[in-house]
Structure 1
Amino acid sequence: MSETGFDARALRDAFGAFPTGVTVVTAHDAAGQPIGFTANSFTSVSLDPPLLLVCLAKASRNFAVMTGAGKFAVNILSETQKDVSNTFARPVEDRFAAVAWRKGPEGSPIFADVAAWFDCTTEQVLDAGDHVIMTGRVKAFANSGLNGLGYARGSYFTPALAGRAVSAAAEGEAQLSAVIERDGAVLLLGDDGLGLPTCAMEGGEPTQMLRDYLETLTGLSVSIGFLYSVYENRADNRQHIVYRATATSGEPITGRFLPPAEALQQRLDSPATADILRRFDMENSIGNFGVYFGNETAGKVHPVSRKA
């Protein structure tokens, strides 16, 4: 696609393929009131001198205050702080009432329980299209050692949970499956007993292996999303690793898209497939997904929210 006639949503989705951390950038206004906004456009710039940058939309309600404050802090959220991210991404008047915070050494708000924080003075504000790039000189920082909160393709993810999937795969023969969703329907295979598309994990990077299998199977372009379920099936002594995924429009070569509620009225290949479809139907309706760890009958869902 050429620059002329770019679809803004398509470009945003393409940018969203790059996984990032999640931060909240904070400062004080002229009256001393704290302000802040959620941002994933953050990166380190230099060690000597110590510099970082964040990007701020010119349309932001915080634009004038943030660019004129002369200093700001970057709070890298930990994997337990999805609610903090959502709060500071919404037009809530008293956002700071929902989070524990204090003034950093340079005076900007520093949050409790973050993965790391950086208290900065503003170095430069550079024009960049519909945003500005704010570079900050780090005056103080702290690193808690907590895992950061991840974000890609419109959803949060937690690196610790993804790491558990890799560990589970190493414990025995693993099967890779996908809940491929499109317009609320899920791709299912089979005639006598419907099931999720599944392939054996034979080494290598699991998401690339799964994507190659699914695109060959369906003839569609498939994007692998986040981990959805990791369970041991004690009947076949296999680890099952299930990812969420999306597919482009068009009829698949193999399989068909069915709403989960409709699929649950038909014969399925296993109780595990029924459990996954029931859970997906419920979570998709509220936009609040989780990652299941356990076996085919019992386990725990770790909540991982979609960005509000």
Structure 2
Amino acid sequence: MTVATLDPRALRDAFGAFVTGVTIVTTRDDAGHPIGFTANSFTSVSLDPPLLLICLARTSRNFAAMTGTKTFAVNILSEGQKDLSNTFARPVEDRFAAAVWSDAPQGSPVFADVAAWFECSMQDVIDAGDHVILLGRVSAFDNSGRNGLGYARGGYFTPTLAAKAVSAAAEGEIAIGAVLERHGEIYLLGDDVLSLPGCVISSGDPVAALTELLEDLTGFSVSTGFLYSVYEDKADGSQHIVYHALAEGDGVPRKGRFLPPSALSGAKFNSSATADIVNRFALESSIGNFGVYVGNETAGKVHPISMKVANP
């Protein structure tokens, strides 16, 4: 896509391919009340002097307070803090009420159990299009050693869980499949008996192979995102990895069809595992909170992974 045909939504999606961490930026307003918001546009800048930056939208409800403050803190969230991220991404009246936090040396709120936190004095506020860049000089910090919460393609992921899950299914042939979503509908193959799209691989990158398959089946551009289900079929010992993916484009796919979850009541599926995955998608998509299932075809655990980081 060239500059002449640049589509803002497509550009945002392309930016979203970059894997980031998730932070909560905090300060105090003129009355001394704590304020904070979720952000993933955080970057370390310099060690000498110690500098970092955060990008803030001009439309942010926190714009005046953040650009006028003398100090602020950046809290890098750990893998178990998705709920905290969601709280500070939404217009909640008192975001701090449900959080465990304390004051950093200069009074900026810092949260318990984060991967790390940094308190900064404001070095500069730099104009940057529809955002501003908050350049902070680090005056205090702490590093807990916990793994950070990850974010890419519009969804959270937890690096430790993802590594363990893929490792559990990494020996021999792997059956890979997808919960492919478009406008809230799920892509399925078959007429009387429905199945998820997928294939079997024995080497190579499973995400690349799956994405190529989905684009060939549908004729649409596909972004393959986070793990959705990792399980062993005890009947034949086969290992399965299912990813969540998003399709872009309108119209009818080359093969198969997109169906709303409401149309799947009473549908027949090619396996009980497929039925469980589709039913879970119907439930989770209704509340916008997805997870990763790890186990076998009959028993396992769903690890919640919330989907969206809202604009601050």
TM-score range, shorter chain: over 0.9
Which protein has greater RCO, CA pairs closer than 8 Å, 6+ apart?
2
**CA contact under 8 A between 1:220 and 1:250: conserved in structure 2?**
no
How far 1:60 moved relative to its partner? 2.0
Q: How many residues align?
A: 308
**Counterpart of 1:306?**
307
- CA distance in structure 2 between the partners assigned to 1:254 and 1:224 by the alignment: 18
**Counterpart of 2:233?**
233
**Counterpart of 2:29?**
29
**Counterpart of 1:87?**
87
How far 1:257 moved relative to its partner? 2.0
**Counterpart of 2:9?**
9
Q: Given residue 216 of structure 1, which amino acid in structure 2 is its aligned partner?
A: D
Report 1:87-166 matches (<5 A): 87-166=87-166
How far 1:131 moved relative to its partner? 1.2
How far 1:261 moved relative to its partner? 4.4
**Counterpart of 1:18?**
18
**3-state SS, counterpart of residue 268 of structure 2:** coil
**CA contact under 8 A between 2:71 and 2:120: conserved in structure 1?**
yes
How far 1:291 moved relative to its partner? 0.8
**CA contact under 8 A between 1:185 and 1:259: conserved in structure 2?**
yes
- CA distance in structure 1 between the partners assigned to 2:29 and 2:184 by the alignment: 43
**CA contact under 8 A between 1:261 and 1:278: conserved in structure 2?**
no
**CA contact under 8 A between 1:25 and 1:38: conserved in structure 2?**
yes
Unaligned runs of 5+ in 2: none
- CA distance in structure 1 between the partners assigned to 2:14 and 2:234 by the alignment: 40
- CA distance in structure 2 between the partners assigned to 1:172 and 1:293 by the alignment: 18
Pair 1:55–1:295, CA change in 2 (3 A):
same
**CA contact under 8 A between 2:169 and 2:230: conserved in structure 1?**
no
Q: Given residue 55 of structure 1, which amino acid in structure 2 is its aligned partner?
A: C
Quick check: 1:75 aligned with 2:36? no
1:133-167 deviation line (CA, Å, top 9, x unaligned): 11111122111122211222322221122112221
How far 1:6 moved relative to its partner? 4.6
**Counterpart of 1:43?**
43
**CA contact under 8 A between 1:214 and 1:222: conserved in structure 2?**
yes
- CA distance in structure 1 between the partners assigned to 2:212 and 2:111 by the alignment: 42
**3-state SS, counterpart of residue 61 of structure 1:** coil
**3-state SS, counterpart of residue 179 of structure 2:** strand
How far 1:5 moved relative to its partner? 6.8
Pair 1:67–1:10, CA change in 2 (3 A):
same
**3-state SS, counterpart of residue 138 of structure 2:** strand
**Counterpart of 2:293?**
292
Pair 1:201–1:168, CA change in 2 (3 A):
farther
Pair 1:60–1:267, CA change in 2 (3 A):
closer
- CA distance in structure 2 between the partners assigned to 1:156 and 1:59 by the alignment: 24
Pair 1:105–1:8, CA change in 2 (3 A):
same
1:172-226 deviation line (CA, Å, top 9, x unaligned): 4311100111223222223453211111132222211211122223322211021
**3-state SS, counterpart of residue 165 of structure 1:** helix
- CA distance in structure 1 between the partners assigned to 2:201 and 2:107 by the alignment: 51
**CA contact under 8 A between 1:172 and 1:237: conserved in structure 2?**
no
1:107-137 deviation line (CA, Å, top 9, x unaligned): 2111101011111111111111121111111
- CA distance in structure 1 between the partners assigned to 2:144 and 2:175 by the alignment: 36
**CA contact under 8 A between 1:185 and 1:258: conserved in structure 2?**
yes
How far 1:271 moved relative to its partner? 0.8
Q: Given residue 220 of structure 1, which amino acid in structure 2 is its aligned partner?
A: F
1:245-286 deviation line (CA, Å, top 9, x unaligned): 122323222222223443453332111111111111111111
- CA distance in structure 1 between the partners assigned to 2:65 and 2:221 by the alignment: 44
Q: Given residue 197 of structure 2, which amino acid in structure 1 is its aligned partner?
A: P
- CA distance in structure 2 between the partners assigned to 1:259 and 1:34 by the alignment: 42
- CA distance in structure 2 between the partners assigned to 1:236 and 1:45 by the alignment: 52
What percentage of residue pairs aligned between the two structures are identical?
68
Unaligned runs of 5+ in 1: none
Quick check: 1:62 aligned with 2:62? yes
- CA distance in structure 2 between the partners assigned to 1:264 and 1:254 by the alignment: 22
Pair 1:6–1:219, CA change in 2 (3 A):
closer
- CA distance in structure 1 between the partners assigned to 2:70 and 2:301 by the alignment: 46
1:53-74 deviation line (CA, Å, top 9, x unaligned): 0011222222222222211110
| TM-score scaled by length of structure 1 | 0.93
